[in-house]
Structure 1
Amino acid sequence: MCSSSQQTSDAKRRGLAVVLAAALLVCAIVRPVRAQLFEPLPPNLPEMATDRDAFTPATTSVVPGLSILEASYSYIDNREQPDVNSFPEALLRYGLSERVELRIGWNYEAGGGGNVVTANESSEGLLDGSISYESHAMYGVKVDLTEQSGWMPRSAAILEGFTPTSGPEPASQPVCTVVAGWELPKQWRFDYALRYAMGNERKDAYNRWGPSAILRMHLSDEWHAHLEWFGVFSEGFFEDTSRAFISPGVHYNFSPNFEVGLRMGWGVSPDAANYFVNWGFGWRY
């Protein structure tokens, strides 16, 4: 049993993390307004690519000196567990150099455990039919690895940590993602990724693998669509699960620096949720 002093220390740690995350989000929201009004972006920027648009992240990092603020809301209709509401799935990405970006974010989830459908969700949660309320801060880096050249794909790696700020989560979790892909004719792209997370539920450490593949379709300068397969598979858990989804999506560019998007998905394995819906935005400044 934890002592009162340890509980107080944990509460202070989580409270500080919440305050820091909130402060960063406020700064992220205020700065874009100032940037749009007083600091026009440089011309001829590469096309903005958000990581929230799909389970598979983009293969590129943020332009040096610029930021991308991403946020979204997810509703997950579980089969046997209570449904999940996840928001704001906030992620702030800052271009540190030509190949490196810094990342920090925060999210809150309420509902049953069992399904991870975005990169901002950290764990599967409890599978006992109860409703849990939890939040976590996320921090890490993204590094561009290779550029496309012939059969060599464009690729990147993401190293992140997830630290609980409230709820039953017992410890921080490391997450690593490698993504690669090719640009195809008509500005279409095919990307694939592998996500690894070290889970810790009920003091039981286990591995969680998240492979994915996506076809991104450029329909016009404003409209983009995709079709994705992804799954989350646990290994060494007290009850291993296989959760796979088919997920189409679309996003609309109001400008080269602001997009809104909608994605849906249906479970195609017995352990997966019936379906999920996710919508959100990305803002470069």
Structure 2
Amino acid sequence: MLPAYAQQEQEELNADRPDNSQGPGIVSRGYVQLEAGYNYQKLNDRIRTYAYPTALLRVGLLQGVELRVQGAVKDSVIENGTSRHVKGWGPLSVGTKVRLWEESGWRPEAAINAMLVLPVAHELFKPDNVEPQFSLGFSNALSETMDLSYNLGYGWTDGEPQRSYGANITKQFMDKVSLYLEVFGNKGKGEPAEHQADLGILYLLLPNLQVDIAAGRRLNKAAPHHFFTTGLAFRLPR
């Protein structure tokens, strides 16, 4: 994502939501940032899922190193003649993001994100074991108001390995508004690949408060049918 800012002297607010192509941006040392939102997804004609609130807490520990804690309350609606609701806490994830190097010429800025999904959740959503998730995030500035972010991920879901990718182009307008277009997907072992695309808008209300809205749909039949998300990113004053 492009850094969002109202004035040049303000510390940049760089959020990892709502896009899936999380770039290499890291919360600066001494700052605490909370990113939270609401997600709706229609998997197919029978199943819809909700997550509210989703929450990601990011703490700048050192220059170029942040602590990350992530979780969500989930609600699944399964329709098969009658509706069945299953609600509870999703898995808690803890980890870190570490900057590898700064952007230089055509060399992108890069960071590694390492998370552990813990078996701490409602029985329906809880993994049997701790599941590691890794991703490499990159970003290239295409101009003063446009950048390209992309990532590659590998981890385990429900005990099976899964690969993922994401890429987006973000354009900043009038210092406060940014628009992005994104494609992303994943592939589990023995499963068909899932590909999706979405469009999102970010609006900087204050130098430390950004709101967002995004919607997307599937690019192939194996992927979830469509989704919608909205939320905010708030950085506590230091």
TM-score by length of 1: 0.73
Please show how residues 90-239 of structure 1 align to structure 2 within 5 Å.
90-111=55-76, 132-134=86-88, 135-163=90-118, 164-168=120-124, 169=126, 170-200=128-158, 205-236=159-190
Superposed CA offset, 1:170-208 (max 9, x none): 2221111110010111321101101222122xxxx3211
Secondary structure of 1:166's aligned partner: coil
160-169 or 87-96, which deviates more: 160-169
For residues 77 and 152 of structure 2, the distance between their equivalents in structure 1, rounded to whole angstroms, comes to 25
Q: Which moved further from structure 2: 261-270 or 57-66?
A: 57-66
SS in 2 for 1:75: strand
Could you say which residue in structure 1 is the equivalent of 2:5?
none
What corresponds to 2:221 in structure 1? 270
**Match for residue 117 of structure 1?**
none
Give the Cα–Cα distance (whole angstroms) in 2 for the partners of residues 256 and 174 of structure 1: 34
Residues 82, 131 of structure 1: 8 Å contact kept: no
SS of the aligned residue for 2:26 comes to: coil
Residue-by-residue CA offset, 1:124-151 (whole Å, 9 max, x unaligned): xxxxx97644422111101011111011
Name the one with the larger helix percent: 1
Q: Larger % of strand: which?
A: 2
Q: Which amino acid aligns with 1:96?
A: L
Write the letter of the residue equivalent to 1:49: N
Q: Is 1:76–1:276's contact at 8 Å kept on the other side of the alignment?
A: yes
Structure 2 distance, partners of 1:278, 1:195, is 22
Question: Does the 8 A contact of 2:59 with 2:66 survive in 1?
Answer: yes
Structure 1 residue ranges without an equivalent (≥5): 1-42, 114-128
Distance 1:44 1:167 in 2: 48
* Structure 2 contact 42–226 (Cα < 8 Å) conserved: yes
Q: State the 4+ residue runs in structure 1 displaced beyond 6 angstroms.
A: none
Rounded to whole Å, the distance in 1 between the matches of 2:110 and 2:77 is 34
Structure-1 residue corresponding to 2:23: 58
Counterpart residue type for residue 162 of structure 1: V
Unaligned stretches of 5+ residues in structure 2 = 1-7
Which structure has more relative contact order (CA 8 Å, sep 6+)? It is 2
Shift of 1:276: 0.2
State the identity as a percent.
Answer: 24
- Report SS of the residue matched to 2:91: strand
Structure 1 distance, partners of 2:222, 2:199, is 20
Conserved? CA contact 1:108–1:136, under 8 Å: no
Equivalent position of 2:43 in the other structure = 78
2 CA distance for matches of 1:217 and 1:190?
Answer: 9
Whether the aligned pair in 2 keeps the contact of 1:222 and 1:252 (CA below 8 Å) is yes
2:47 aligned counterpart, secondary structure: coil
* Matched residue type, 1:241: P
Would you say how many aligned residue pairs link Structure 1 and Structure 2?
A: 221
Query: What is the TM-score normalised by the length of structure 2?
Result: 0.87
8 Å contact from structure 2 (residues 38, 52) kept in 1: yes
Question: In structure 1, what is the equivalent of residue 53 of structure 2?
Answer: 88
Q: 1:233 to 1:132 in 2, by over 3 A?
A: farther
Structure 1 SS opposite 2:144: helix
Tell me, in whole angstroms, the C-alpha distance in 1 between the residues paired with 2:85 and 2:166: 28
